[in-house]
């Protein structure tokens, strides 16, 4: 699709990240899809509640599910002995993304293990039998050139046709040239992407007021509004989510006022496959059979 054609339309993808992290997240995704505006979810294949998430997704044929690659601050899919340079003794990635970014770029043995883990997560998603709607990364680590290159190379083998471009209107000036480079790289690779996102500056705080404000000034083009909904429960889902207002985000996705604002905006709504439709570039996934996750 040409840039002119994309910018002449208005389309929205409502995505819930961290699908599979906890049953509270999975229940929120199901509710928000059945009774609200949520159209897509990004699955963590190594998370504690992945099996429950996949079972729910199979009951929701209109929910578009993508792969939420975890390469920082989360559990790896492969065992520690396969990727010792990437994870701690508990098989978890660290949260020092600057340090790890340098290691990915400069150390060949680390890069080799990174490629193994990315492939393993794509393989795990393929085994669910769910159509791969899109790919993104936890904490947007695909902004790193090495990570992005590996995802594009490996993702093509698994039918990846669309990725999130973390481009928000309020992004820092210094980041704009880098986003432009990522956009150009996706375009050259024939990977479809959104034109803008809403959700970075208000991560964990995507309540009704934030959604209504975004919808009131919705630009033309293909936009993705992403959030982290979960039903109420005891304690934070992860230490890094102590300030997240998951229940407020769920309420926003279920809000009649938000639904009315979406309707008034006249935007096409769905997952990447729905929004791009037949204009998505073709990518044949290998025939690996469908096995239960």
Query: Which residues of the chain register pLDDT less than 70?
Result: 1-8, 278-293
Domain parsing of the chain, residue ranges:
3-279
Give the model's pLDDT for residue 111: 97
Is the pTM for the entire model greater than 0.85?
yes
Tally the C-alpha atoms within 13 A of residue 63's C-alpha that lie toward its C-beta: 28
CA distances in angstroms from 241 to 121, 277, 286, listed in the order given: 23, 35, 37
Q: 3-279 in CATH: which number?
A: 3.20.20.370
pLDDT in tens, 233-270: 989 999 999 999 999 999 999 999 999 999 999 999 99
How far is the C-alpha of 56 from the C-alpha of 53, rounded, in Å? 5
Question: Torsions phi, psi of 253, nearest 5?
Answer: -65, -25
pLDDT in tens, 76-103: 999 999 999 999 999 999 999 999 999 9
């Amino acid at each position: 699709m040409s840039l002119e054609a994309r910018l002449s339309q208005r389309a929205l993808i409502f995505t819930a990240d961290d699908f599979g992290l906890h049953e509270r997240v999975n229940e929120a995704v199901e509710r928000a899809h059945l009774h609200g505006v949520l159209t897509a979810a990004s699955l963590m294949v190594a998370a504690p509640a992945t099996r429950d998430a996949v079972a729910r997704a199979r009951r929701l044929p209109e929910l578009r599910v993508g792969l939420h690659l975890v390469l920082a601050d989360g559990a790896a899919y492969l065992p520690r002995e396969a990727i010792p340079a990437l994870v701690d003794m508990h098989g978890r990635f660290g949260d020092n993304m600057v340090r790890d970014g340098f290691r990915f770029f400069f150390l060949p043995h680390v890069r080799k293990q990174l490629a193994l883990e990315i492939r393993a997560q794509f393989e795990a998603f393929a085994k669910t039998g769910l159509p791969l709607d899109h790919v993104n990364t936890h904490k947007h680590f695909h902004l790193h050139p090495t990570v992005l290159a590996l995802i594009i190379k490996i993702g093509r083998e698994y039918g990846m046709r669309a990725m999130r471009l973390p481009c928000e209107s309020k992004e820092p000036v210094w980041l704009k040239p880098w986003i432009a480079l990522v956009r150009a790289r996706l375009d050259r690779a024939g990977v479809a992407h959104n034109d803008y996102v809403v959700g970075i500056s208000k991560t964990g705080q995507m309540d009704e007021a934030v959604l209504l404000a975004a919808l009131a000034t919705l630009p033309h083009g293909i936009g993705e509004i992403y959030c982290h909904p979960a039903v109420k429960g005891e304690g934070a889902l992860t230490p890094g989510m102590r300030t997240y207002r998951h229940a407020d985000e769920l309420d926003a996705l279920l809000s009649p006022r938000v639904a009315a604002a979406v309707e008034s905006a006249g935007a096409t709504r769905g997952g990447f496959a729905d929004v791009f439709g037949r204009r998505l570039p073709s990518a044949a996934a290998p025939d690996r059979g469908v096995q239960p996750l």
